[in-house]
Amino acid sequence: MTPNDGKRRGIALIIVLLVVALLSVIVLEFAGQVQLQRMLASNLADSVRAFYLAKSGIYIAARSLIDDLNSSREDHLGEMWAFPLPPIPLEGGVIKVTISDETAKINLNRLVLGSNRVNTRIQGATTQLFTLLNLDPALVDAIIDWIDEDTSQLTSGADENAAYGYGYGAADYLSKNARLDTLEELRLIAGFNNEVFNKVKPFVSIYGTNRININTADPVVIQAIINSIHPNPDQTLGEQMAEYRLTQPFSGARWRRQLINDLGMDKPLASRLASSCTTRSRYFRIRVEAKTENSVVYAEAVIRRSKKGARFLWWKIR
């Protein structure tokens, strides 16, 4: 064997070793990719499962609200729907469901009626709500100008886009002149910074009718309504009514008498309050958290219930 033969064999051995090493890397990389694909496929299946669990939670809650409508005459905070449900185990995961009453809040879209008329009843209650929250009552007029169909400012008659500063600078959009599609839209209205929005958010809605459910409304909402219909009301009535209903919910057939006989309210105020409120609810917000082994999905929906079923007005899954 010549020296050159030895060199060639050495080179061949090195090449073989390099090929083996390269193949080892490729095999390891392939195995890693297979494991990654398996993990991604498992996570995808997990997230899909969580998605459908969340949807199931929405439908379960809607069904329970329809059953409640068929079995009770009043809606109040002592009913089962008003309490957060314990975690519900379903196939492959767990869901948590909470339900809240949108009829307990002031519907801002009702500030303007047909034919572009201001709803003075809702305007008065909303103005008093802002006052109780230490917010500028003029913000209520700004909401009305955002919703109503004309382009004139409610108070001055001037062009509302110029008056509120819409159309230039940070507010590079014009007044909507249509109903609110989401509550978050308030942030676009002049004067509604994050602080103002977060203060008012728990007490207002874009769903519902003119009448607030007296059994589920926050005491500050009740007080705002009272303040809007009485020139010099007792500022503790909202709290008194909220405390009273804990043990004795207001009944649709006799709740005016309850106000007069049990709470000592004068008859004119009781009558006006009865015309502004109700003891039944039709609009609800459902929130669901669905958890599987590796995924969490949140679902939220607003429904209008009736004895015929539930109509979904809005919903979101994330």
The residue behind tokens 């379903």 is: 90
Residue 47's pLDDT is 79
10-residue mean pLDDT profile of the chain (318 residues): values are 55 54 48 46 67 89 92 92 87 90 98 90 97 97 94 86 85 91 96 96 96 97 96 93 94 87 92 93 96 90 93 92
How many Å apart are CA 272 and CA 274, to the nearest integer?
5
CATH code of the domain occupying 43-103+282-317: 3.30.1300.30
Tell me how far the alpha carbon of residue 290 is from its chain's centroid.
Answer: 17
Handedness of CA 249, 254, 259, 261 (dihedral sign): negative
Q: Which two tokens stand for residue 25?
A: 């890397």
Q: For residue range 94-133, what is the model confidence (pLDDT) as tens digits?
A: 999 999 999 999 999 999 998 789 999 999 999 999 999 9
Strand pairing category for 88-90 and 93-101:
antiparallel
Place of tokens 């000592």: 264
Tens digits of residue pLDDT in 170-189? 778 899 999 999 999 999 99
pTM of the model: 0.85
pLDDT reported for residue 32: 43
Q: How far is CA 226 from the centre of its chain?
A: 26
